[in-house]
Structures are given as structure tokens and as C-alpha cells.
Chains A and B, each alone.
Chain A
């Protein structure tokens, strides 16, 4: 049986290529039909903030690429409730269908996967 991999994305979409490179790991694994999950943690939750205008920062829009996750078979998407709360983001108004996890839920999630990559 294939080993499962959880990708933890911790960087904001405007803070360099890290968010995009975490997403690329997920999309590449999805193309191989691997059992993957993706967790948005810490500043990574800013990737889910709606109505962003990255063009004002002369950046590409990551949101469109994030939308590709379910199409690549990556449907296990999670976000840390505490990270959202710390940054004043509404769990009900996010740009992607994600499961909101409390701290106990995060521990159980990480435990559930064979391997974890944090970017």
C-alpha cells in the first residue's frame, strides 16, 4: 500500500516561493495518485484568505493553483483553527473547502499520516 504524506504549508502566499513550492509537492504527488493531505498552518492560512489582489504586489495569484488540488485528487485539506483565530480570519469564509481542526485535531492528523513534509 502506498505511504501517505501530509504536506504542511506554513508560509503566506506573498512571502516568497514557499507556498507555491509546498503546493507543487502536493500537485506532483496527486499526479501519481498518492494518498496526500495538505494542512495550512501558521502564516500558511493566509493562502486561504478570500478576495486577494496579488497583482498589486506584482505577484501571480496562487488561489487559482490551489483550486487545482481537488482536480489532482488532493481532497484532504485542513486548516488550523488557532492559526486562523490568531490572524482574524473567518473559518466560514475561506477560499478553499478545508476542514478546520483544533489543536487536538492537528495532533491526531499528523499522527494519521506515514510521512510529513513541512515547508
Chain B
């Protein structure tokens, strides 16, 4: 089955961790992830600047490793990200901000990417709230 997984919560929210576990289980079960889409506070789940205490689960790092290892299409909504200070090099330069926190493997793009992926997938599964 083809999944689109949308994440609306930051890395410190249990729902972001659940989304990651779901995504891992989907691939382990032989399914395909058409796209991961990070929206609303979910853009923080992609931030490279999150520093998690050593004895806690570093969910943003695990997302990064998961996306990289499986070469997934992982899109962060650009409007939601700019509003929350999640920027790649290009946007940091464009808006003259002192730091970028969205390196590869993430791609900044628009909401059309969510719609496009949802059209090609069998299931759209969203994770938000706590």
C-alpha cells in the first residue's frame, strides 16, 4: 500500500514519535511511503537545531536518519517553516537570517506537494496533537 504521512507536531510531542514509528512499521511491512509532509508545528520535527537531553529520545535526529537511510521524499511546508524559523540556506540568505537549520535530506516546498502526494497514495495518515 502507498502511504502519505503528514506530521503536524514538533519532535517533543508524542505524536511525532508515533508518526516515526508508524513510518518505520510501514516500510518494515513492505509498504511504500510516497511522501512525508511536515506542516504546522511539524516543521520543528525536521529542525537540525533541536538539542535533546542525552537521556531522552532525539526524535528530530531519528527522523533525519530514517529519511536519509531510506532516501524518502520528505517535504517541509515552506510557509509553515518560515513562520516558525525553520530555514534552509537559501531562505536564510533570502531573509538575511543568521542561521539555517534545515539541511538535506529535507526539501522546502508548498502545500501543493501534500495534495499531489495524497492523490497518488492509497492512504493519507496524519499525526498531530499530543
A binding-site residues for B, Cβ under 8 Å:
2-3, 5, 17-18, 21, 24-25, 28-29, 31-32, 34, 115-119
Known: A18-B40, A118-B128, A119-B8. A5 touches B118 (CB 8 A): yes
21 A-B residue pairs with Cβ-Cβ distance under 8 Å, sorted by A, are: A2-B119, A5-B115, A5-B124, A17-B83, A21-B40, A24-B111, A25-B39, A25-B114, A25-B115, A28-B111, A28-B112, A28-B115, A29-B111, A29-B115, A31-B112, A32-B112, A32-B115, A32-B116, A115-B118, A117-B124, A119-B128
In the complex, which residue of chain A has the Cβ closest to the Cβ of B124? A115
Known: A2-B119, A5-B118. A21 touches B128 (CB 8 A): no
- Least Cβ distance of A73 to chain B in Å? 13
Beyond A17-B83, A117-B6, A118-B128, 9 additional pairs, beta carbon < 8 A: A18-B40, A21-B39, A21-B80, A24-B111, A25-B114, A28-B110, A29-B115, A34-B119, A116-B124
Residue interface mask B76-119, A partner, CB < 8 A = 1: 00011001000000000000000000000000001110111011
Q: Which of B111, B116, B123, B126 has the most CB of A within 10 A?
A: B111
The residues of A that contact B112 with a CB separation of less than 8 Å are: 28, 31-32
Nearest 3 A-B pairs (CB), nearest first? Answer: A28-B111, A115-B124, A29-B115
The residues of A that contact B6 with a CB separation of less than 8 Å are: 117
